[in-house]
Amino acid sequence: MGKLVGMEVALAAAEAAALCRFEVAAVYPITPQSHVAEHLSDIVNDGRVDASFITVEGEHSALSAVIGASATGARVITATSSQGLLYMGEVMPIASGMRLPIVMIVANRAVSSPINIWNDHSDIMPMRDTGWITIFAENGQDAVDMVIQAYKIAENRDVMLPVIVTMDGFQLTHVVEPINIPDQEEVDRFLPPYNPYATLHPDRPISMGTLGMPEIFPEAQKAKDVALVNSIRVIKEVWDEWERLFGRKYEAVETYRTDDADVALLTMGSMGETAEVAVDELRRQDVKAGLVKIKLWRPFPFEDLKKALKGIRVLAVTDRAVSFGGPGGPVFSEVRSALYDEDVRPKIANFIIGLGGRDVQVGDFVTMVKRAAEGKLAEPYEFYGVRG
């Protein structure tokens, strides 16, 4: 049952793609994704996977090339970060609109300006509405498992959508963790070869990416939304199967010590583990604290979130991106909106934290929870610990 290794997470994520026997990779280097790009090319050039690595001249072309390859029926991978993800922005909704099962690793990084290579979520958040399934890894094991799961989800005939697996840049991509890397035979059993619905081939010519007039365009958009909303069923089935085969459980919304909690923190990504330590610390101080971690960002797991927040009186939502001039961080506005129709709902505070790699320590989470619990809520949101 797999092999426990100490490996840098970026490399492990590339290894996961190799276990899925990708056929075409097109990746443009950008910090902190570059180790993914480098390791994918190592894998291809060493002949460990029978694949082509296209050294594209930019991220726009990276996604465009994997669209072309995916349209022929090949299993594909790309990866990016920050400005690179924004540069892909034009092509993002096209990939999902064409219903191509592309898998992309995103090493989350701040967006300029000022230019900053460190981690936050301001690159992934603007991609929220592009129609991609978006899953947040919390640690190296998540990253590996989620990349493999991503193909199974994306290629499901009831889904046929591209999937992003995000992992926090540096804080996750560049750390060495003990990770269980599954065996090839196990992955082969879990993930059958890609059997595409339609491909570009002269034996059965089709037109892909045609012009949609007002008579059909809204229907195409609705179909994409329905597919994305419905994909949560398949995602959960895939996670159930994963748990049966590999013994590791995945949930759209994970909780930590929330059963009797009065106040809870909410995180996405790698800060979840720091927040767990903070919750333990708060418990030692007799604060009934818990932690809610959102793993699945799109489709948004409304029901799972409501269930996870049952009994919570005060919720401190952390955001690692800013919706400038908006209602608060993107996670906050989503969570608050999800709870609007509930008869009983928690008071919600919003702390914007860890922008551009600013360190967030256990003590910071403790302070946030205490301030939220005392009703000293930032209105409507607060840049935690930020000068000015």
Partner 1 sequence: MTTATLSPTIVQNFDLFAPKLVDREEYFSWGHRACQGCAEALAIRLMCKALGRDTIITNATGCMEVISSLYPTTAWKLPWIHVAFPNAAAVASGVEAGLAALHRKGKIPDKRVKSVAIGGDGGTMDIGFQSLSGAMERGHDILYVCLDNEAYMNTGIQRSSGTPFLGATTTSPAGKKISGNQVWKKNVMEIMVAHNIPYAATASPSYPIDFMNKVKKARAIKGPAYIHCLVPCPTGWRIPSEKSIQYGRLAYETGVFPIYEVEDGKYRFTLPVPEKRRPVEDYLKGQGRFRHVTPDQVKLIQERVDVEWEALLIKMERSKSYTEIREQLKK
Which chain residues interact with partner 1 by CB under 8 A? 23-24, 26, 50-52, 54-58, 60-62, 64-74, 76, 90-91, 94, 98, 193, 200-213, 216
CB nearer to partner 1: pick between 45 and 324: 45
CB nearer to partner 1: pick between 63 and 377: 63
CB nearer to partner 1: pick between 74 and 181: 74
- The CA distance from 370 to 32, in Å, is 34
What's the closest the beta carbon of residue 211 comes to partner 1, in angstroms? 5
**How many CA atoms lie within 13 Å of 320's alpha carbon, on the beta-carbon side?**
27
What's the closest the beta carbon of residue 72 comes to partner 1, in angstroms? 3
What's the closest the beta carbon of residue 124 comes to partner 1, in angstroms? 21
CB nearer to partner 1: pick between 100 and 135: 100
What's the closest the beta carbon of residue 76 comes to partner 1, in angstroms? 8
CB nearer to partner 1: pick between 157 and 201: 201
**Phi-psi bin for 160: left (phi > 0), alpha (psi -120 to 50), beta?**
left
Q: What is the DSSP string of 18-37?
A: HHTT-SEEE----TTTHHHH
Q: Give the pairing of strands 176-181 and 3-8.
A: antiparallel
Q: What is the DSSP string of 40-102?
A: HHHHHHTTSS--EEE--SSHHHHHHHHHHHHHHT--EEEEE-HHHHHHHTTTHHHHHHTT---
What's the closest the beta carbon of residue 273 comes to partner 1, in angstroms? 37
SS3 202: coil
User: In this structure, what DSSP letter does residue 183 have?
Assistant: P
What's the closest the beta carbon of residue 134 comes to partner 1, in angstroms? 21
Q: What is the DSSP string of 250-277?
A: --SEEEES-TT-SEEEEE-STHHHHHHH
CB nearer to partner 1: pick between 204 and 284: 204
